């Protein structure tokens, strides 16, 4: 029995998130059913993150154990003939038995895309958040700087979170704007439930002057969710990249 790490990408618009649930179709369910057609049994696939409904992933990792002798590139090609067009297998790697797609990760980079326009674009529907009012970029950049560093992000999470420790370290936070699309990027050693979406909702209110620097500082010190903005909708959120200590090591070279 060996462990394989599968790299995939997907548009989450048609799915109820990653994790299998009784109330809708999920990425995990589709992937496990597709692997069943190749391996002739349904493996337990563990993901690197629990993305919500309508959330997308440009890079997502998951692991499973198998004793079926199949080349990694053959598994990727086989999956891509079975998976729907909004889910793609990218790579497959042999990893040690104690490697864990979620717990071995040292950090993640998320992006949230905002379309700044008074006119909607059907080609961006479900992939960006449409905002008709302009955003003060000076205040937006100031806000990004406030999020950097090690803080208690309790206020930036939903009450549905399942973890007790709410301290996280944000190593990068910045915005990039091209063709009226503002991309908010944040990289951290871990994320709480709805953390990025609350960051984005607060960004919109901070840049409009409704939330102050003092409010952010107080939110960090007290964990008071009411000091921050609304939770932004999911459709503009992308898991951009997952980081592991061995990104350049044998884990990610062994694709045979």
Residues with catalytic annotation?
52
Secondary structure element (H or E) that encloses residue 66, with its range: strand 56-66
Cα(250)–Cα(247) distance, rounded to whole angstroms? Answer: 8
- Report how far residue 23's alpha carbon sits from residue 96's, in angstroms, rounded to the nearest whole number: 34
CB contact set of 79 (below 8 Å; sequence gap of 6+): 31, 34, 35, 38, 89
Task: Give the number of other Cβ atoms within 10 Å of residue 40's Cβ.
Answer: 8
Q: What's the rounded Cα separation, in Å, for the pair 68 and 85?
A: 26
In 3-state terms, what secondary structure has residue 180? Answer: coil
* Residue among 135, 47, 138, 39 at smallest CA distance from 87: 47
Asked if 91 contacts 255 with a C-beta cutoff of 8 angstroms, the reply is yes
As a whole number of angstroms, the distance between CA 99 and CA 87 comes to 24
Closest alpha carbon to 251 in 31, 136, 19, 93: 93
For 100, counting Cβ atoms within 10 Å of its Cβ (0-12 exposed, 13-18 middle, 19+ buried), the class is middle
């Amino acid at each position: 029995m060996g462990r394989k790490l599968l790299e995939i990408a997907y548009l989450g618009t048609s799915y109820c998130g990653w994790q299998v649930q009784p109330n809708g179709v999920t990425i995990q369910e589709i992937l496990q059913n597709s692997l069943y057609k190749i391996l002739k049994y349904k493996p337990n696939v563990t993901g690197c993150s629990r993305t919500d409904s309508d959330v997308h992933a440009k890079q997502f990792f998951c692991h499973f154990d198998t004793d079926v002798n199949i080349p990694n590139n053959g598994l990727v090609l086989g999956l891509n003939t079975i998976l729907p067009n909004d889910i793609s297998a990218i790579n497959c790697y042999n990893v040690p038995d104690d490697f864990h797609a979620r717990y071995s990760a040292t950090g993640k980079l998320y992006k949230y895309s905002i379309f700044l326009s008074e006119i909607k674009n059907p080609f961006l529907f479900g992939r960006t958040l449409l905002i008709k009012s302009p955003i003060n970029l000076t205040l937006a950049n100031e806000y990004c700087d406030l999020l950097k560093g090690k803080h208690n992000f309790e206020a930036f999470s939903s009450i549905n979170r399942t973890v007790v420790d709410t301290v996280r370290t944000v190593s990068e936070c910045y915005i990039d704007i091209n063709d009226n699309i503002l991309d908010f990027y944040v990289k951290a050693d871990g994320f709480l439930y709805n953390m990025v979406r609350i960051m984005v909702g607060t960004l919109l209110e901070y840049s409009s002057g409704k939330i102050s620097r003092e409010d952010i500082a107080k939110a960090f010190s007290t964990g008071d969710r009411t000091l921050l903005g609304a939770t932004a909708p999911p459709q503009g959120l992308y898991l951009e990249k997952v980081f592991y200590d061995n990104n350049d090591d044998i884990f990610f070279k062994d694709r045979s």
